[in-house]
Structure 1
Amino acid sequence: MTEPAAGTTLRLARADDAPAVAALLRENWPFLAPYEPERDEDYFTAEGQEALLRDALAEHAAGRAVPYVIEHDGELVGRLTVSGIVRGAAQSADVGYFVAEAVNGRGVATNAVAALLGVAFSDGPGGLGLHRLQAGTLLSNSASQAVLQRNGFERIGVARRYLRIAGRWQDHVLYQRVAAT
């Protein structure tokens, strides 16, 4: 468990987080929907989230992903996922995250990403030993771009029609953070 500052904690997700994650998504969907893929109704249920978390934990056990939850002052307020872990010469992964509207703009996402960096680039026990992290944001998502920039990510370009978000293929700004050598 990593606690960077201001009551924000990043911890490995568990299957029993499913009811809290589902409730968080239902409550915050109007805020999150413009930045997310379209979802079916099962996505917002405890059962649907439990299945997704079990899949994510299986990916974690296989070394391909790390699903975290973000807590602030002891309350679950978001998710952060390291996915697409590539070993070999690349030693890289993608990172994605969201936080509840109630804590948006309060440094929670910034602190969660900062906590991740300590784990992602560490070769020590519990570290991922990565060389590079990549993240993408919608062109209009200046808040998420600020989170990445405050954590030392650099803009590397724009990927046209990169992901299907809110029902349509949308351009994304790509960022990377490379480990200090």
Structure 2
Amino acid sequence: MIRPVPIADDAVLRLLDAGDAAALAAAYVRNREHLTPWEPVRDDAFFTEEGQAADLDAQLASAVAGASLPLALEERSTGRIIGRFTISGIIRGPFQSAHVGYWVDGASNGRGLATSAVREVLRISRDELGLHRVQAVTLPHNAASQRVLERNGFERIGFAPRYLQIAGRWQDHDLFQAILHD
């Protein structure tokens, strides 16, 4: 079981649960403009409590199946969700690998929260999930996210043209990996 972990004086990284739909919807509404350049196009239903409840159901089912681990960055003093960190695409066997994706509330950027949370995600990936490798991708112009990855030992391993449909168009991505066991 993954326990909540302090990330900063007033932030904790914890597992998402079925009761988080309203808080997630509020976080996505608050950050809609902030996240638009970095995420797929979302329909209006995504930003509702019902939309988030449906997404959470899928995320939690994936977690039960061992394919992902959905985490929230929560501000302890307010209980607000101020970020999402997801370990997804977990592959077992000889690969023992997964992807990590994340975002932090626009009002909380610049506080080192993403760097600290990704560090904890790597620890969970290695110590709790037994993974050997974690991959992340960024848009080439997302320098802030690349700094977070580099501060956590990720290495750039490649370039993928037209890799993901972000902000309504197929966009190139830089590929990064962190090896968790020598």
Ranges in structure 2 where 5+ consecutive residues have no aligned partner: none
Q: Distance in 2 between matches of 1:142 and 1:71?
A: 24
1:1-181 equivalent positions in 2, closer than 5 A: 1-74=4-77, 75-122=80-127, 127-181=128-182
**What TM-score does the superposition give when structure 2 sets the normalisation length?**
0.94
Q: Is the 8 A contact 1:8 1:112 kept in 2?
A: no
Q: Distance in 1 between matches of 2:132 and 2:50?
A: 35
Q: Distance in 1 between matches of 2:161 and 2:126?
A: 29
**Offset, 1:76:** 1.5
Counterpart residue type for residue 154 of structure 2: F
1:130-163 Cα distance to aligned partner (Å, 9 max, x none): 0000000001100100111111111111111000
1:39-66 Cα distance to aligned partner (Å, 9 max, x none): 1111000010011011100000000000
Instruction: Provide the alpha-carbon RMSD of the alignment.
Output: 1.1
Q: Distance in 2 between matches of 1:93 and 1:113?
A: 13
Ranges in structure 1 where 5+ consecutive residues have no aligned partner: none
Identity of aligned residues (%): 52
CA pair 96-88 structure 1, distance change in 2 beyond 3 A: same
Aligned residues: 177
Counterpart residue type for residue 104 of structure 1: N
Instruction: List structure 1 segments (4+ residues) > 6 angstroms apart after TM superposition.
Output: none
1:20-77 Cα distance to aligned partner (Å, 9 max, x none): 1111111111111000000111100001001101110000000000000012344320
